[in-house]
Homo-oligomer: A and B are copies of this chain.
Amino acid sequence: MSSEEKQLKPGDTIGILGGGQLGRMIAAAAMRLGLKVHIFCPDADSPAFECCSFKTVADYEDMEALHRFAQSVSVVTYEFENVPGETATFLEEHCIVRPGPLALTVSQDRLTEKTFLREKAGVEVAGYYAVENQGDLATGLSLFDGMGVLKTRRFGYDGKGQVMIRTEEVAETALEAIGDQPAILEALVPFEKEISVIVARGVDGDIRCYDPADNHHQNHILKTSSVPAEIPREVATAALEIAAQIVAALEYVGVMGVEMFAVPNAEESYDLVVNEIAPRVHNSGHWTQDACPVSQFEQHVRAIAGWPLGNPGRTSDVVMENLIGHDVDAWQEILHEPNARLTLYGKTETRDGRKMGHVNRLLPLGA
């Protein structure tokens, strides 16, 4: 069996880079399946350290620690896409990393990502133009009717590192506002809503998608994901096909979140434009924990373990609500709700904008 197809056994250890709530929930799913978990994270106070057999507190660039980590596990995965390049390269030389290097390369850079999605995966993305300087920006804006969103190519999240440009005044200071970094100008997409699809691909190429979710944001942070999404059936089918095309093109192994814009079209339906991909379990898939036989976390574990993917079917309608900052103070009221399922991440300090937990409110199918 080649390393591409390697299968773990119960009792083997998966390594996770990153110790946040995503790592914690992957770890819990792995443990349920009899796997051990080794968490690698620089922050000793990380939520995932409370649910693992082994832990390493070290910087991601600490090659000695990484070497010991790689030796101690059967496969490495990650809960965030901004794994430093040299860390990823080092690990790939010393152990199996799933998802593989291409997924990180593609998703760490918005320009590479857009280009891959359009050219290799063959899916629709917003118009885009690479921006290194003011001249590029002017050219890009001229292509998109003088408007667009300027985004850093790397390390943006939750609306950070981006500027909406609708006027010349804003255009003049936009590059400075994002720190004069390599950037990408994206054409404005006249979308009505954002949906996302959680998709998984196994080592055998098997692909399974969860139903699309309707996502709503507050202050650029995901607030709720509702399933089923309010979209026509053929749009839902198209969304799943797009997600499947992307993981197939990447020869991906693991769970991925694919965000899409739904743009009203002349047929009173929607066209879909891929916004971005996340090569990991995804906040907009937390509803799968309580509304599906196999959650996105178990699905990810199955995929990276080389095991058969699970049933992504849905057993309830559901609204997932993120508990952000002091939203979490309502934990006790939520425990009183008969159809609410609470997850708290065990973070010691409540801060504005910090994701502290989430709640899945379940409804009968088709209610």
Contact = CB atoms under 8 A, between A and B. Distances in A.
A291 to B, nearest CB: 10
Given A11-B346, A11-B348, A335 B362 contact: no
A344 B308 contact: no
Nearest to A32: B343
A32 B28 contact: yes
Nearest to A25: B32
Contacts of A316: 315
A344 B33 contact: yes
Given A33-B343, A34-B346, 20 more contacts: A10-B328, A10-B331, A10-B344, A28-B28, A31-B50, A32-B343, A32-B344, A33-B342, A33-B344, A34-B331, A34-B357, A36-B346, A49-B53, A302-B335, A308-B332, A310-B335, A310-B338, A311-B339, A315-B315, A315-B316
A52 interface: yes
A179 interface: no
A45 B302 CA distance: 25
A33 to B, nearest CB: 6
Interface of A: 10-11, 24, 28, 31-37, 49-53, 290, 293-294, 302, 307-308, 310-311, 313, 315-316, 328, 331-332, 335-336, 338-339, 341-346, 348, 357, 362
Contacts of A310: 335, 338
25 contacts: A10-B328, A10-B331, A10-B344, A10-B346, A11-B348, A24-B31, A28-B28, A31-B50, A32-B343, A32-B344, A33-B343, A34-B331, A34-B344, A34-B345, A34-B346, A35-B346, A50-B53, A51-B51, A290-B293, A302-B335, A307-B332, A308-B336, A311-B338, A311-B339, A313-B338
